[in-house]
Structure 1
Amino acid sequence: MTFNDRIFGVLLIVLAVAYGWGATQFPEPFGGAEGVGPETFPYLLAAVLAVSSLYLIVRPDPDNAWPWSRTGVELLIAVAVLIVYTMLLQPLGFILSTLLAVGTLCWRMGATPIKAYVTGGVAGVVVFLVFNFALDLALPLGLLSFLEVN
C-alpha cells in the first residue's frame, strides 16, 4: 500500500506549490522588502510541507491503508471544515472564523461543545493578538471591525 502515501505526497506537493505561489501574491509591505514580511510565514509553511511531501513519496509507510472507517469520515469532515474556514475568513474575520473552525474540530475530537467552542474562541483571540501586536501582521476582523484600533 505504499502507493497511497505516494499519491498523498504528490497531492501535498501540489498544495505546497499553490500555497507558496499564493504567498507571492501578497502586496509588498510599505517601505520596500526589508526584513520579515507577510509572505515569510507562508513561505516557511510551503517549504516544510514540500519537504514532508517528498519524504512521503521517497519513504512511504509499507503498511499504510486508507482509513475508510469512521476515521476516514472524520478526516473528510476536517477537510470540509478547513475549506469553509478559508471561505469565512474575510467576511467573518479571523477571530470568529477561527472560533468556529477550531471549535468544530475540537468537538469532532470528543470535547463537549461548550469546551470546544471556548477553546476556539480563546485560540482565535490569542493568535489574533500575537499576530496583530507582537508580529505586527494584520489579520482580518470581518464582523468585528468595530474593534479596530487606529
Structure 2
Amino acid sequence: MSGLGDRILGLGLLVLAVAYGWTAQQWPEPFGGAEGVGPETFPTILSVVLVAGSLYLMVKPDPDAQWPLGKTALELLISLVVLVIYAMLLEPLGFVIATTLAVGTLSWRMGARPVRAFLTGLVSAVVVFVLFNYGLDLSLPAGLLEVS
C-alpha cells in the first residue's frame, strides 16, 4: 500500500487545519464591530491553505516517499520543539524577541553562522512586527518591549 504514510500525515494535518480554522472563528469580534480584516483573517487563510495541502497529500500521495531517519529526523524534531517553545514564549516575551530566537535558532540549525542567523531573526521579526502593527493595523504581542 504505497503512500499510506502521506495519507496518514494528510489526515492528521486536515484535522489540525479544521481545528485551527474553527478556533480562529471563535475569537471575539473586535471592539467597534466587524471589519474586513480582523484577528481571525490570517489564521483562517493559513487553515484554508493547510486544508488544501492535506487533501492533496491524501488524494495524491508520493508512492516512493521515504520518512527521514537519523540526523534529518533529529533536525525535524528539533525544529518542532523550537516551534512549540516559540508558541509558548510569544505572549510573555513578545513577538520580536520570541521570533528573533526562533528564526535565529532555526537558521543556525540550517547551517548559518550564529551571529548571522540571529541577525536574520531580528531583522525579519522587526520587519514583520512593523508591517503587521503599523501597515495592517493588526497588533502583535509586544511582551517585554511594551512601552507603558
Segments of structure 2 that go 5 or more residues without pairing to the other structure are none
Paired position in structure 2 for 1:140: 141
Q: Please give the TM-score of this superposition, normalised by the length of structure 2.
A: 0.95
Q: 1:34 offset after TM fit, Å?
A: 2.8
Matched letter for residue 44 of structure 1: I
Unaligned runs of 5+ in 1: none
CA distance in 1 between partners of 2:131 and 2:53 (Å): 27
Report whether the alignment pairs 1:95 with 2:96.
Answer: yes
Q: Is the 8 A contact 1:12 1:53 kept in 2?
A: yes
- The superposition leaves residues 81-115 of structure 1 with CA deviations (integer Å, 9 ceiling, x where unpaired) of 00000000000000000000000000000000000
Q: In the alignment, is residue 38 of structure 1 matched against residue 34 of structure 2?
A: no
Determine the C-alpha separation between the residues in 2 that align with 1:109 and 1:31.
Answer: 44
C-alpha distance in 1 between matches for 2:115 and 2:17: 34
CA RMSD of aligned residues (A): 1.1
- When normalised by structure 1's length, the TM-score is 0.94
Say if 2:53 is the partner of 1:48: no
Q: CA deviation at 1:36?
A: 1.3
Give percent identity, aligned residues only: 62
Counterpart residue type for residue 14 of structure 1? V
Deviation at 1:31, TM superposition (A): 2.0
Q: Is the 8 A contact 1:4 1:65 kept in 2?
A: no
